[in-house]
Amino acid sequence: MRYLLYYWPEIQGRGEFIRLALEDAGADYVDVLRLSGKASFSNYPDLKRAPYAPPYLVAGRLVLSQTANILQYLGPRLCLAPKDEAGRLWVNQLQLTIADWLAEVHDTHHPIGSGRYYEEQRPEAKRRTADFLAVRLPKYLDYYDGVLRRAERGSAGGGYLLGKACSYADLSLFQMVAGLRYAFPLAFGRLEQRHARIVGVHDRVAARPRLAAYLASRGRVPFNLRGIFRHYPELDSTRKKSKKT
Amino acid sequence: MRYLLYYWPEIQGRGEFIRLALEDAGADYVDVLRLSGKASFSNYPDLKRAPYAPPYLVAGRLVLSQTANILQYLGPRLCLAPKDEAGRLWVNQLQLTIADWLAEVHDTHHPIGSGRYYEEQRPEAKRRTADFLAVRLPKYLDYYDGVLRRAERGSAGGGYLLGKACSYADLSLFQMVAGLRYAFPLAFGRLEQRHARIVGVHDRVAARPRLAAYLASRGRVPFNLRGIFRHYPELDSTRKKSKKT
C-alpha cells in the first residue's frame, strides 16, 4: 500500500505526527504537497466523507483526517500499536491527551484567534503562556511520567508508554519534547530535568535507526515561526519569572 | 454489561456526550458520582492504564477515558456506529472535529487559563468570543452542513450525518446546538437560521423516544455557569455587534 499524505509543506505541525509514524515504519508514502507545490488539498472536492482540515491520509479508497484517527488506522498496520482492542483503545487514549496538550501549545501564541497574527494578541499570549508553563505543562508531564512509571512495573520491562514496545504515542511524545525544547528552552529546560522518563522516551525514539536518519535529513522541516511550536523569547521564561508576570 | 460512568455530577460537560449515547440506547449504566456524592474518581489509584481526566467509563475490566475514545468503544455496541472499519473511522473523525469545536467553546470564557475564574479573564474572553462567533463557529457549521448535504445524496436518504442511520456523532451535534443556544442565544440564533440541516439533526435527535424522555427528566442536568457552555450576556452578541468589538 502506498500512502499519500496531504499537509502544509512548510511546517511540521500536526502532519509531523503522521510523518514520524510513516518514517519509523519505513512505509511507502508520498508527502504530496512537498513533492509538488502545485498539488493542493482541493484534489478531493466531491469527496463524500470530506475532512474538516489537514492532515489527510489517502490509503487506497479511504481518505482520513484528524491526526489521532489517522494514527489509529496506521498503528496496527505499521506495527506501532497492539492488535487487541484494549491495547488499541489505550494507545488512542494516550494520543488524544497528547492532542489536547498540543492544542494548548498552539494557543499559547494564539489565545484569541488562530486566524489572526501573533502580534495582534501578544499581551494575551503572555498571560496564557505563563499559565501554561506554570500549571498545564507540569500536569501533562506528570501524567505521562506516571504512565511510564507504571509501564516499568510490567513483566516485560519499560522504556516506552506501553512497556517494552514502541507505539505511535511514543513517537508523538518525542515530538512534544522536541517542540517544547524549541519553543521554551528556558522554561522547559527546567521542567524536563525532573522528567527523566519522558526524556528517556525522547532519546530512545530519536535513536531508532530509521527515525535517526529521517531527523538528520532534509525531510525533517525545521521548527519555525509558522508552526504549532514557536519560539518567541518574550513568552519563554524560567518558572520563577513567569510567576512575576 | 453494566457500564459505570464517572463524571462531575453538577455539570453536563464532556460527560453529557457519553450520557446521551447510553440513554439513547437504553443501556444499563450507573452515573456513579450522581448516585453517591461520596464516591470519587480516586477509586482507581493503582490503575495501570490511568486516565488523565474524566469522563471515565468502566466496562468490565476496561477503564476508558477521552470522550471520543469512549464513544468509539460504545458506538458499535450500542448500534450508534457502523460495524465496518471505514464507517467507524468516519464517525470517529466527525466526533474528533466536534471535540475540537467544543474545546473552542470552552476557551471562549477561559482563553487564559482553565483553572482561573472567568472574572479574571473577561476582557480576553470578549475578544476570543468575538473571533469565535465571527470566524470559527460559522466554519464548523458550514462543515457539518456540507456533511449533511452530501449524506442526503446517498441512496438511503439523509437526515443524519451518515445518511439515514443515527450515530453517536449526531447525538453530539444535537448537544452542540443545545449548548450554543444556551450560551449564545443572540449570536447563534442568527447563525442557526442559515443551517436548517443541522437544526434538523437537533430536532430529530431530541424526538427520539428514549432521549425525549431523558431530556425531560431530572437526569438531564440543566446548563449552568460551571459547565463548558456558559451564558454570559456580555459575551453574546449579534454578529453585527461582534464586528464592532
C-beta of residue A187 within 8 angstroms of C-beta of residue A245: no
Own/partner pairs for A142-150, CB < 8 Å, 24+ apart? A143/A97, A143/B52, A144/A173, A144/A195, A144/A197, A144/A198, A145/A195, A145/A197, A145/A198, A146/B50, A147/A94, A147/B50, A148/A197, A148/A198, A148/A200, A148/A201, A149/A197, A150/B48, A150/B50
Q: Which grid cell is A55?
A: 492532515
- A229 lies in the same domain as A179: yes
Q: What is the mean pLDDT of residues A41-61?
A: 84
Overall domain count for chain A = 2
Which CATH number covers residue A205? 1.20.1050.10
- A135/B113 Cβ within 8 A: yes
CB B118 within 8 A of CB B109: yes
Same domain, B216 and B169: yes
Cβ distance of A92 and B51 shorter than 8 Å: no
Test B131 with A150 for CB contact under 8 angstroms.
no
Q: What SS3 class is residue A206?
A: helix
pLDDT per residue rounded down to tens, chain B (245 residues) = 999 999 999 999 999 999 999 999 999 999 999 887 666 666 665 688 999 999 999 999 999 999 999 999 999 999 999 999 999 999 999 999 999 999 999 999 999 999 999 999 999 999 999 999 999 999 999 999 999 999 998 777 789 999 999 999 999 999 999 999 999 999 999 999 999 999 999 999 999 999 999 999 999 999 999 999 999 999 997 545 444 44
- Gap between the Cα atoms of B141 and B167, Å rounded: 18
Please identify which residue in the block is written with the cell numbers 452530501. B150
Regarding whether A140 and A68 lie in a shared domain, the answer is no
The answer to whether residues B116 and B184 belong to one domain is: yes
Q: Are the beta carbons of B28 and B14 closer than 8 angstroms?
A: no
Residues in chain A: 245
Residues of A in contact with B140 (CB under 8 A): 52
Give the integer Cα–Cα distance in Å for A27 and A137: 33
Is the ipTM beyond the 0.85 threshold?
A: yes
Q: Do residues A152 and A103 both lie within one domain?
A: yes
**Cα-based distances in Å from A103 to A136, B159, B204:** 12, 32, 32
Optimal mutation site among B49, B133, B242, interface A, most CBs of chain A within 10 A: B49
Residue A164 has pLDDT above 70, yes or no: yes
Measured between CA atoms, how close is A218 to chain B, in angstroms? 31
Compute CA distances A99 → A13, A68, A70, A140, B30, whole Å.
Answer: 12, 8, 13, 11, 29
A46 and A161 belong to one structural domain: no
- Whether residues B162 and B209 share a domain: the answer is yes
> Same domain, yes or no, for B57 and B133?
no
For residues A80 and A167, the answer to whether their CB atoms sit within 8 Å is yes
Whether residue A137 is found in the same domain as residue A234: yes
Which domain does A215 fall in, by range? 85-244
Task: For residue B105, give every residue at least 6 positions away whose Cβ sits within 8 Å of its Cβ, in sequence order, or none.
Answer: B132, B176, B179, B180, B183, B228, B229
Task: Kindly list the residues from chain B whose CB atom is less than 8 angstroms away from the CB atom of residue A64.
Answer: 89, 93
Contact present, A223 and A182 (Cβ < 8 Å): yes
Residues B187 and B138 placed together within one structural domain of the fold: yes
Q: Are residues B124 and B73 part of one domain? A: no
Q: By the CB < 8 Å criterion, does B156 face chain A?
A: no
Query: Looking at residues A25-39, what average pLDDT do you find?
Result: 87
CATH code of the domain containing A28: 3.40.30.10
Same domain, residue pair A65 and A109: no
Checking if the pLDDT of A154 tops 90, the result is no
Task: Select from A84, A81, A76, A105 the least CA-distant residue to A94.
Answer: A81
State which of B46, B77, B108 marks the end of a domain.
B77
